[in-house]
Each structure stands twice: as structure tokens, then as C-alpha cells.
């Protein structure tokens, strides 16, 4: 066909005839059923794709918001998924489809064209015409009343996405748009659809040619399956050469003819089994996508799961387990919640992932500290070298942390239970890490002793969220190490106790590995004199620093409210607590001016200008925590009942003692819970413990955050954040509590 008034050359006429021959041969029976105008239309569409970036679209209106849409473009990996994904994004239900990939011989020579200027033609050389072109014919129906500009906008998007030359970026855009449609569909039940999958290499000829592998799928109709399937096949290095998509009485009857990347049929039994696995999992998983908090993220990660699973020797067994409805439901929840959790365990620790995912009973179980300790010690007993023991410790810690996280993500545990379980795990991990560190010192240095020959006791105290048993996603572990007093060790090489415990802490810091920055990371900055102080403090040094005449700052007095001994000598831990009480609950008034100055510095120095941080900005979580701790200190001098480390429990004790009015206590609890949930959601989404900046209200990330926190709209979440943070900011205007 000639373009823009050009004369069609014999060369073009020859190629047009070749195109007609290819269309007749490769469409087979479909070509026979076409009318003459349809054949001409398809030839015109195919011939208009002269360059790899060309895209052609034709549509015929059928009435009742239905159309026959024909799309032609150059073929490239993922092109089909972009086309069907965009149809889904525009809320166009695919009732049926005939999908063809047509192959043409390369044209000999190059076609010249150009502009006419002053009666003379200036030749230019066109890019080579694509030798493989898609011809996709869809029967579609609008799921809602279509906008007047539906098709012009669709065609513009289609041309941009297929012709941009950036397939990965285009796929990401389409996935995000499709995910919005999935979210709008809402949750479905978890009863999975019956289905059958048949794969054959029978050599049948009409159609397709015997060089294709035939894949037949029958099941209930699943929105988005064709998009997800085309996506996954592209990742699995499988080409869709021909497809028939039909829906009969609500049942999807889909047939695909596929090849490998070299155009050859898939005959290897292992590869055929992999193809069947992928088909079943994708079909069932897309049925659950609407229930996922972030369907787009889940789609991306599901493809990674398929690839990772098929690379493992035991994947056949894992596949049988992954078919279980409860397992797939858990996958949908996990993949759509946390990119960090998923990528960390899939890529780095997949040996932990699959056993946990298929062990549904373990996800329903709350494991006590004693049960965790017993299981870890049992596993350590089979480890040989110290290095192997450290590996066992960290694998156990990471696996249990993931299990606890997953229980909470999938709604199997409420926030308070989730925090308690993480705190129990942290206690066991700190206990064992300290024991392994001590074991390394014993052969050379022996044990630390006091001047009278007795063993020198030590303890480890938790502060912050760990001390309050309020750990969440991405929490670090704030610790203080305290030993009884100076002395020497009793081993072959003698050390002063101060150096001995310094080395103990140094070894300890190498025992617990943090999966990501801030995730169960050890923080010793609240020890006496902070970074300038020794890693471990003697009891006398601790008592001197944390005393009314000592060097401790006001913020450290607040921090010690949540000090709690977790490991080591109980009697020493009790004396550390008594020392804390004498300092924190001395009755000496707090320097509120100093605290407010600190809050202003945090809000200005730790938060980028123009941004809002859920923890440090004015009205952030720190305001509420400091407020509760300040009133605990104020009344704790005369009422020991309020000397508790957990923030929620402290609010309850202050209310029970008559120090807070019921409405204020209720608002404190609700705001605390809201800000903790917001911070945990930010950490899960980003996989970064320290980035607690609230995204712009109009951003996609904020929209996802609203969905994750179960708000109906982003505006509702925006209003809730504003109200809660305004309340937290106003707390410092409240008068100190007085007992009724």
C-alpha cells in the first residue's frame, strides 16, 4: 500500500502479496471465515506497521457498549501483556479474543521514500519493517458507561506504550493502572475456582502449525487473567504465537499456542510441567488479586515467585503445597503489602520462605518466649562451630520475625499481640547472642570475677520500643549493658572487668545481623555518655551518671521510663531498676522548657523542610510518647503504679489513678494506636525503618497507604493524619495532671 500519495512500487506490490499469503496461511480456518472487507481491513492494518514503533487500531461498534477492536503492532516480549493490560485499565471486559503473531520474510533491499521539493524527490531510508507482527482481535464490553473520548485516549495511550521503546517502563505503568481496577473490584471470597489445564504437542496443522505447543485452560472467568498470564509467560521466556479466548456461560475456555524464545515447541517434560504450574498458580492467584492491598505490587512479585520457585529442586512438592487456598490467600496478602519483606525473603532467604508459607498452622500459632527459647536451643545443639551457631541464630531470628510479621499482615494477630511476639523474639535473640559472645571469651580470658572471687554478674536492659514491649515493623533494639563492678578475669589471660565486658559487647554486636538498616539493629546510644562512653557500664558508673547530680540530660530521664532488664543476673537487674526509679521518679520537676527545645530541634533538624514526619514533626509520635512519660515522671514519685514501660498501659494506669480524664485518655490511646499503625505501614511499604516521611496527599504512594490502613479514600486518611497530629501537638498546652 502506498503512503501519502506515493506511487506503489513493484517491490511494494510484491510485499503486499506476501503479506496476504502469510495472512491466509497463518490464520487458517479463521481466514476462511473472514469477509472480503475484513480481510482487506486486516491487510491494511498489517501494512501500516512499517516501523517497529508503528501501532494501528481499528474498531467496529456492536451496540450496547460493545466493540470489535483490532490492534496491530510489531511483536516484542511483553507486547501482548501491554495490550490486554491497557484494555483492562480502561475497564473494557474481554469477552473473546483471537490473537495472532504473524511472521514475514525480511524484505530484500530498503524501501526509499521522501519529500517532493521543487519537482524532485529527496530520498531517505526507512527503518526495517518488523518481521513479526501482532494481529489481535478482541470483542470487548465497557464495564461502565464509557466516556466520549474513550477511544481517542485509548489509542493515544496504546501508541505511546507500544511505540516508546521502553517496554519495562510501559509494563510498570500498565500494572499500576490495572491494579486500580483490581482495587475497585473489592475483595472476593477465598473459594478457588475449579480448573483444568491440558498441554499437548500433537502436531495438528490447522491451526496452528506443528511447531507450536497447545495449552488449553478451562475455569471460571477471572478478571485480569490474560494480562497476568501474558506477563508471566514473558518472564518465563515463552512466546504466545496464537490464542483463542472464549467465555461460555461464565466459564473461560482459553487456548494458547506457544513456543520458546527460538520459535520451537516446548517438548521437554520439565518445561511442560513448569508451564502447567505457572498456568494454575496464575489463574488461581489472579482470582485473589482484588483482595490484595496493592494488586500491582502483588503482580510484579508473583512473577518473581514463579521464577524463583521453578529454579528450586524441590519445586514440585512446593507447588502442590502452594495450590492450597489458605497458602494462596496468604501470598496475596503478603505480596500486596510489603515489597521489602517479599524481596528480602525471596531473593536472600528463600530457603525460609517456602516452608513458612506452606505451614499454615504455624501462622495461626502464638509462640511464647519459652517456646522460642526451647526451639532455638534445640537448633543450636546441632550446630558445630561458633560461626555455624551464629548462622543458626540469625536464620532462626529472621524466620521467626518473618512469621510474626506475616501473622500480623494477614490479620492473624492484632497490633498488641504482634508487638509482644516481636519483643519475646528479641529477648531470646539477645539472650543467645550474649551467651555465644561469652562463650568466645571463656577459653582465653575465663569469667569476670569480683575482688572477693565471686563471679561478676552482668545484665542487659532494654529501652525504647523494646523496653516497652512495643516493637513493630523495622524497630531497632535499644540496649544498655551493666556489670557489677571492677575486678579481673580468671582465665589464662587476665583482663580488667571493664575491658572484658567491652569485648563482650563488641562480640555481641557481631552476632545479630540486621536484614535492613534499622531492622532489629542494635542501638547503644542511650548508655551513659552516649557514643563517648564505654560500651558497658559498671553499676556504680550507671548510678552516678543517672542521678540528680549526674550528667544525664532531661531526654535521658524520659528515656529511662521504659528501661526493662531482659537478660542476665536478675538481682543486678532489680538494682538497676531501683536506681532508675530513684533518678526518674525523684519528684524533682521536669525541665519542660528543655524538652520543648529538644522537640523543636527534632522537628527542624530531623525533618526535611516542607515535609511531615510521622515520628519527629510537631504532632508526631514523639510528642505523645514524651507527654505520657512526662506525666508518669510527675506522678510516679508518689504513685509507683504508673511506673510501667508500656505506653498504652501507662495511659491506662494514669486514667485509673485519676490523673487523666477519660476523654483525654481515650484520645491519647486512639492517637497512639493511629500513629503506630501509620509508622508501621510506612516502614512496611518502603522497607526502610528510618524514612517516616508522609508522602504527598495526591501521590500514588499515599493512595496505597490509605488502602493499606483501610481508609475509604486518600482524603479520609489525610484528614485523619491532620486531626491526630494536631491533637498530639496540642498536648504540651495541657496542665499537669493532679489526682482527684
**Are the C-beta atoms of 76 and 171 separated by less than 8 Å?**
no
Are residue 510 and residue 647 in the same domain, yes or no? no
* Domain at 525, CATH number: 3.30.460.10
490 belongs to a structural domain = yes
In a domain, 617, yes or no: yes
| Distance (Å, whole) CA 198 – CA 162 | 32
The residues, ordered by sequence, that sit 6+ positions from 198 with a Cβ below 8 Å of its Cβ are: 214, 215, 216
C-alpha–C-alpha distance, residues 242 and 258, integer Å:
7
Residues 358, 343 within the same domain: no
Clarify whether residues 244 and 272 are in a common domain.
Answer: yes
Domain carrying residue 204:
10-107+127-351
| 413 and 472 both lie in a single domain | yes
- pTM across the whole model: 0.70
C-alpha cell at 367: 509462640
Tell me the H-state helices in 510-620. Answer: 539-545, 554-559, 570-584, 592-605
The verdict on 362 and 343 lying in the same domain is no
Looking at 551, 584, 617, the residue that finishes a domain is 584
pLDDT of residue 260: 82
pLDDT of 427 reads: 97
pLDDT at 658: 94
How distant is the alpha carbon of residue 120 from its chain centre?
62
Q: Is residue 33 part of a domain?
A: yes
In a domain, 115, yes or no: no
Expressed in percent and rounded to 5, the helix, strand and coil fractions of the chain are 50, 15, 30
Residue 117 belongs to a domain:
no
Residue 67 CB-half CA count within 13 A: 17
pLDDT for 307 equals 65
> Are residues 656 and 509 part of one domain?
no
User: How far does CA 246 lie from the centroid of its chain?
Assistant: 35
Predicted local distance difference test score (pLDDT) of residue 709? 84
Q: Which tens digit of pLDDT belongs to each residue from 240-259?
A: 888 888 887 777 888 888 88
Number of domains in the chain: 3
Query: Where among 300, 335, 351 does a domain terminate?
Result: 351
Cell readout for 217 is 485452560
The pLDDT of residue 24: 79
Let me know if residue 4 belongs to a domain. no
- DSSP track, 459-486: EEEEEHHHHTT---TT--EEEEEEES--
Clarify whether residues 457 and 376 are in a common domain.
yes
Closest C-alpha among 469, 380, 379 to residue 424:
469
Residues of the chain with pLDDT under 50: 1-11, 107-126, 189-191, 204-208, 342, 345-349, 518, 738-740
Task: Tell me which residue of 212, 211, 206, 239 sits closest to 31, measured CA to CA.
Answer: 206
> Could you tell me the CATH number of the domain that includes residue 619?
1.20.120.330
Q: At residue 142, what are phi and psi to the nearest 5 degrees?
A: -75, 130
Specify if 19 maps to a domain: yes
**Residues 337, 374: one domain?**
no
| Residues 675, 725 within the same domain | yes
Q: Could you give the CA distance from residue 509 to residue 523 in angstroms, rounded to a whole number?
A: 10
Distance, in Å, from the CA atom of 705 to the CA atom of 294, rounded to the nearest integer, reads 9
> Does one domain contain both 535 and 603?
no
Same domain, 460 and 344: no
Please indicate, yes or no, if residue 738 is contained in any of the structural domains: no
Q: From CA 25, how far away is CA 31, in angstroms rounded? A: 8
472 plus 614 within the same structural domain: no
Last residue of a domain, one of 351, 385, 400: 351
Amino acid at each position: 500500500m502506498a503512503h501519502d500519495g506515493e506511487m506503489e512500487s513493484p517491490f511494494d506490490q510484491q510485499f503486499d502479496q506476501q503479506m496476504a499469503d502469510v495472512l491466509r496461511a497463518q490464520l487458517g480456518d479463521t481466514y476462511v471465515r473472514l469477509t472480503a472487507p475484513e480481510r482487506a481491513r486486516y491487510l491494511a492494518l498489517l501494512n501500516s506497521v512499517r516501523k517497529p514503533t508503528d501501532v494501528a487500531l481499528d474498531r467496529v461498534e456492536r451496540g450496547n457498549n460493545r466493540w470489535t477492536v483490532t490492534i496491530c503492532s510489531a511483536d516484542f516480549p511483553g507486547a501482548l501483556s501491554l495490550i490486554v493490560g491497557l484494555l483492562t485499565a480502561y475497564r473494557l471486559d474481554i469477552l473473546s479474543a483471537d490473537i495472532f503473531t504473524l511472521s514475514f520474510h525480511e524484505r530484500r533491499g530498503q524501501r526509499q521514500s521522501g519529500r517532493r521539493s521543487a519537482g524532485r524527490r529527496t530520498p531517505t531510508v526507512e527503518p526495517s519493517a518488523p518481521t513479526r507482527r501482532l494481529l489481535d482481535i478482541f470483542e470487548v464490553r465497557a464495564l461502565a458507561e464509557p466516556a466520549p473520548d474513550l477511544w481517542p485516549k485509548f489509542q493515544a495511550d496504546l501508541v505511546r506504550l507500544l511505540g516508546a521503546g521502553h517496554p519495562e517502563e510501559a509494563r510498570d505503568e500498565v500494572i499500576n493502572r490495572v491494579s486500580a481496577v483490581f482495587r475497585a473490584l473489592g475483595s472476593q471470597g477465598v473459594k478457588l475456582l475449579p480448573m483444568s489445564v491440558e498441554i499437548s504437542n500433537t502436531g495438528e496443522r490447522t491451526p496452528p502449525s506443528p511447531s507450536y505447543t497447545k495449552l488449553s485452560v478451562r475455569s471460571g472467568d477471572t478478571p485480569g487473567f490474560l494480562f497476568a498470564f501474558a506477563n508471566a509467560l514473558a518472564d518465563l521466556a515463552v512466546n504466545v504465537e496464537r490464542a483463542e479466548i472464549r467465555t461460555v456461560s461464565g466459564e473461560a475456555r482459553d487456548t494458547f499456542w506457544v513456543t520458546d524464545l527460538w520459535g520451537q515447541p516446548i517438548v521437554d517434560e520439565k518445561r511442560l510441567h513448569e508451564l502447567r504450574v505457572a498456568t494454575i498458580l496464575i489463574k488461581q492467584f489472579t482470582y485473589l488479586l482484588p483482595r490484595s492491598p496493592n494488586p500491582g505490587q502483588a503482580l510484579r512479585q508473583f512473577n518473581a515467585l514463579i521464577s524463583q520457585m521453578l529454579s528450586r529442586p524441590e519445586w514440585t512438592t512446593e507447588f502442590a503445597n502452594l495450590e492450597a487456598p489458605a497458602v494462596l490467600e496468604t501470598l496475596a496478602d503478603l505480596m500486596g503489602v510489603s515489597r521489602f519483606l517479599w524481596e528480602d525473603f525471596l531473593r536472600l532467604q528463600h530457603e525460609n520462605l517456602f516452608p513458612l508459607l506452606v505451614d499454615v498452622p504455624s501462622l495461626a500459632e502464638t509462640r511464647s518466649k519459652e517456646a522460642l527459647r526451647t526451639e532455638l536451643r534445640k537448633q543450636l545443639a546441632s550446630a558445630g562451630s561458633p560461626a555455624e551457631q551464629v548462622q543458626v541464630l540469625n536464620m532462626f531470628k529472621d524466620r521467626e520475625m518473618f512469621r510474626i510479621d506475616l501473622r500480623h499482615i494477614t490479620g492473624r494477630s492484632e497490633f498488641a499481640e504482634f508487638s509482644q511476639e516481636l519483643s519475646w523474639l528479641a529477648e531470646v535473640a539477645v539472650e543467645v547472642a550474649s551467651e555465644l559472645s561469652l562463650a568466645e571469651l571463656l577459653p582465653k580470658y575465663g569469667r569476670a570475677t569480683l575482688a572477693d572471687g565471686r563471679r561478676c554478674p552482668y545484665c542487659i536492659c532494654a529501652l525504647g520500643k523494646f523496653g516497652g514491649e512495643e516493637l513493630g515493623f523495622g524497630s531497632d533494639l535499644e540496649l544498655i549493658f551493666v556489670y557489677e563492678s571492677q575486678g579481673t578475669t580468671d582465665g589464662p589471660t587476665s583482663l580488667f572487668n571493664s575491658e572484658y565486658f567491652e569485648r563482650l559487647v563488641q562480640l555481641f554486636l557481631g552476632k545479630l545481623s540486621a536484614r535492613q538498616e534499622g531492622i532489629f539493629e542494635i542501638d547503644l546510644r542511650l548508655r551513659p555518655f552516649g557514643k563517648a562512653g564505654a560500651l558497658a557500664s559498671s553499676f556504680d558508673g550507671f548510678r552516678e551518671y543517672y542521678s540528680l547530680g549526674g550528667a544525664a540530660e532531661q531526654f535521658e530521664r524520659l528515656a529511662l521510663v521504659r528501661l526493662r532488664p531482659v537478660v542476665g543476673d536478675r538481682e543486678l537487674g532489680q538494682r538497676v531498676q531501683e536506681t532508675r526509679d530513684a533518678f526518674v521518679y525523684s519528684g524533682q520537676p521536669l525541665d519542660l522548657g528543655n524538652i520543648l527545645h529538644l522537640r523543636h530541634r527534632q522537628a527542624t533538624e530531623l525533618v526535611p523542610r516542607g515535609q511531615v514526619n510521622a515520628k519527629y514533626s510537631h504532632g508526631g509520635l514523639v510528642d505523645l510518647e514524651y507527654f505520657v512519660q512526662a506525666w508518669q515522671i510527675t506522678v510516679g514519685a508518689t504513685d509507683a503504679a504508673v511506673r510501667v514501660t508500656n505506653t498504652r498501659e501507662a495511659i491506662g494506669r494514669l486514667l485509673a489513678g485519676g490523673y487523666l480524664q477519660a476523654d483525654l485518655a481515650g484520645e491519647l490511646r486512639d492517637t497512639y494506636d493511629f500513629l503506630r499503625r501509620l509508622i508501621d505501614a510506612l516502614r512496611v511499604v518502603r522497607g526502610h525503618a528510618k524514612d517516616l516521611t508522609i508522602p504527598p496527599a495526591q501521590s500514588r504512594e499515599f493512595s496505597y497507604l490509605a488502602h493499606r490502613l483501610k481508609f475509604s479514600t486518600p482524603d479520609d486518611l489525610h484528614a485523619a493524619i491532620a486531626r491526630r497530629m494536631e491533637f498530639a501537638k496540642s498536648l504540651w498546652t495541657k496542665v499537669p495532671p493532679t489526682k482527684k
